[in-house]
Structure 1
Amino acid sequence: MFSALQADSITLHLINDDNLAEVYTLFQGHPDSPEMLAELFRNYLPKYEHGQRTNFGFYTLLNNELAGMHLLSVDSWDELAGSTGADVFQHMRGRGVTPRCKPHLFYLAFELLGLNRVATGCRVSNLASKRSIEKTVGFQLEGVMRESGRDEQGAFEDEYLYAILRRDWLRLYDKTQVRVIG
């Protein structure tokens, strides 16, 4: 396997059972550490289906400073489809971390795992996420999923759905820019 993916000034370090204690310690000391740690345990731990890993969570460093977490999930091996997600520390927001991590995740999805499609989305009220997704080369708006989830008050909310296909990635990205580490 590998331990990290590096491109630009961003390195994504794969979260595994053997480095989880180190990751937990790394995430201490920020005002939003409790929320980030809750997300770590809720969404970023390894998961497996039929012996194949389906959840690739990473802690993200920007210029060797902890920025947050990024995720690629394999939603269906049969359909070769996956999805991405991200959580960035408040003090690191506005630096373009999430769009700049997508080449790493796309490389994993399309080159290493052989997926054909990677999707992402955000609630219509989350304008920062919408802007971040729209800055990512290759993601295309595919539609709106009506009342797909609930907000903090329990009200139903629509979600934007975006996706990139392998053929788009091949045309738009230079895969030699991503370096696989160990």
Structure 2
Amino acid sequence: MFKALYSDSITLHLITDDNLSQVYDLFQGFPDSKPMLEEMFQHYIPKYEKGRQVNYGFYSMLADQLAGMSLLSIDSWQERSGSTGADVFEHMRGRGVTPRSKPHLFYVAFELLELNRVATGCLISNQSSKRSIEKTVGFQFEGISRESGINEQGEFEDEYIYSILRRDWLNLYDKSQVQIIA
């Protein structure tokens, strides 16, 4: 496998069972460390189903600064589909970390795991995430999923849904721009 992926001054480091304690230490000392660590343990640690990994969590570095986390989840191996997500430290927001991390995730999804489709979404009230998704080359708006998410007030909320297909990625991205760090 690989330890990290690099492109466009962003390095995504794979979170593994072996490095989890070091990653935990790395995330200490920020005003929003507690909610970020809660997200990490809920969504970003490795998960397996039927002996296959279905959750690939990464911590992201913008140059030498810890920026947040990115996620690739396998929704169905049979249908070769996955989804992405991200959480960024508050002080690192607005720097394009999430859209600039997508080529890394797309490389893993389409080149290494041979998926056909990767989706993402955001709550309708989350305009900053919507803007970030729309900056990501290749994501196409598919529609609105009614009351499929829960907002910070604990209420159901509609979500915008976007996706990219492997054939889109092949036409839009240069896979040689992503460097694998073993």
Check if 1:32 corresponds to 2:37: no
Match of 1:130 in 2: 130
Match of 2:67 in 1: 67
Quick one: distance in 2 between partners of 1:136 and 1:174? 14
Local SS of the residue matching 1:18: coil
Check if 1:105 corresponds to 2:105: yes
Local SS of the residue matching 2:106: helix
Quick one: distance in 1 between partners of 2:10 and 2:157? 33
Quick one: distance in 2 between partners of 1:40 and 1:131? 23
Match of 2:157 in 1: 157
Quick one: distance in 2 between partners of 1:116 and 1:5? 20
- 1:4-23 deviations in Å (ceiling 9; x for gaps): 01111000000001100100
Quick one: distance in 2 between partners of 1:98 and 1:128? 11
- 1:110-157 deviations in Å (ceiling 9; x for gaps): 000000000000000000000000000000000000111222223221
Local SS of the residue matching 1:147: strand
- 1:23-69 deviations in Å (ceiling 9; x for gaps): 00000000000000000100000001111111000000001210000
Match of 2:46 in 1: 46
Match of 1:77 in 2: 77
Check if 1:120 corresponds to 2:120: yes
Match of 1:20 in 2: 20
Local SS of the residue matching 1:2: coil
Percent identity, aligned pairs only, is: 72
Cα drift, residue 98 of structure 1: 0.2
Match of 2:93 in 1: 93
Which letter does structure 2 place at the counterpart of 1:49? E
Quick one: distance in 1 between partners of 2:144 and 2:23? 35
- 1:83-120 deviations in Å (ceiling 9; x for gaps): 00000000000000000000000000000000000000
Which letter does structure 2 place at the counterpart of 1:169? W
Give the gaps of 5 or more residues in structure 2.
Answer: none
Quick one: distance in 2 between partners of 1:128 and 1:78? 33
Q: Post-superposition, which runs of at least 4 consecutive aligned residues in structure 1 deviate over 6 A? A: none
Give the gaps of 5 or more residues in structure 1.
Answer: none
Aligned alpha-carbon RMSD (Å): 0.6
- Spell out the pairing of 1:158-173 with structure 2 (5 A cutoff): 158-173=158-173
Quick one: distance in 2 between partners of 1:150 and 1:49? 25
Match of 2:140 in 1: 140
Local SS of the residue matching 1:17: coil
